[in-house]
Amino acid sequence: MGCRCESPQLKTEYKNENDFSHPSSEKKLKFIDIPFKEINLKHVSSKSFLNNNFFEKKYVLPIQNYSLNNLTNSLFYYINLIRTDPINFIEIIKKYIEKIIKKNNIFYIEINKDFYITLNKGKIIFEECIELLKNIKNKKRFILNDSLKFNFEDMFNNNIIEKSNEIEYYTSINFLEKILVYKKNEIYNFYDIKAFHYDKGSDNTEASAVLQIVDDSQADFFRRKNLLSNFDYIGISTLKLKDNVYCYYLLFANKK
């Protein structure tokens, strides 16, 4: 999910620094201020193109409800499959290698019919990831923790975040800063946030897991590192941005 990136930095009044990361939007960003922490969140573009001018005209306001739990639970399943059975997950990655194409010197991968996402280096990074997974030890399962999920509806209702017809807003610095600050305040006494990233794509959670672990972006494999980390808990939040366009927000933490 590559792009040609810049690195603007937001001001922060906090001194301690952790590195959080994640690919998906137009810029590589260095930020973010949340209480008691300064997070360095690197953010790399995930562009999509469709044969029918998918991103033109009107957008549907995001939807979050219990029906999205199926996507959350499905993505959680694939993430733990990566951790507990990497050899079998390699076969899934191989399936997606066959879906990579090159057009005008840019690599794309087909996620769903006529839905493509840009890559940075293409097959070579997928093959490198396969070699990595062949040689790592199985890891413990993440524990899915509802306390680490973002309650977007509550934040909308309390004017913490606003709704927008522009889907890019939901992966912007402004939006991400607000949801992370809100969550940090909410769980500060109980959990220590360790990492964060997101993935913008389709309802194909298998593909999302593949793209996160392969992490063919310009973000120094931060998403891959998060998925293979030794953190205990994960929260996965899902927003539907429009028909068959979803964003998955992943928050990693340990108990204090």
Compute φ and ψ for 199, nearest 5 degrees: -140, 125
Q: What's the pLDDT score for residue 113?
A: 80
Q: What's the pLDDT score for residue 112?
A: 83
Between these two residues, 179 and 10, which has the higher pLDDT value? 179
Distance from C-alpha of 244 to C-alpha of 201, rounded to nearest angstrom: 8
Question: What number is the average pLDDT over the span 48-61?
Answer: 30
Q: What's the pLDDT score for residue 152?
A: 94
Distance from C-alpha of 50 to C-alpha of 132, rounded to nearest angstrom: 32
Question: What number is the average pLDDT over the span 13-38?
Answer: 31
Strand ranges (DSSP E) for the chain? 17-23, 33-34, 37-44, 48-49, 100-103, 106-112, 115-118, 143-144, 191-201, 233-242, 245-255
pLDDT band at 67 (very low <50, low <70, confident <90, very high): low
Q: Of 233, 236, 209, which Cα lies nearest the Cα of 223?
A: 209
Between these two residues, 143 and 52, which has the higher pLDDT value? 143
Distance from C-alpha of 217 to C-alpha of 44, rounded to nearest angstrom: 7
Q: What's the pLDDT score for residue 96?
A: 96
Give pLDDT tens digits for 193-242.
999 999 999 999 999 999 999 999 877 899 999 999 999 999 999 999 98
- Is pLDDT at 256 greater than 90 in this prediction? yes
- Is pLDDT at 60 greater than 60 in this prediction? no
- Is pLDDT at 68 greater than 90 in this prediction? no
The span from the first CA to the last CA of the chain, in angstroms, equals 34
Between these two residues, 252 and 23, which has the higher pLDDT value? 252
Angle at 177 between CA 4 and CA 199, to 5 degrees: 50
Residue 81: helix, strand or coil by DSSP? helix
Q: Mean pLDDT of all residues in the chain?
A: 78
Give pLDDT tens digits for 149-166.
999 999 999 999 999 999
- Is pLDDT at 26 greater than 60 in this prediction? no
- Is pLDDT at 6 greater than 80 in this prediction? no
- Specify which of 7-21, 58-72, 73-87 reaches the highest per-range mean pLDDT: 73-87
Give pLDDT tens digits for 107-137.
999 988 878 999 999 999 999 999 999 999 9
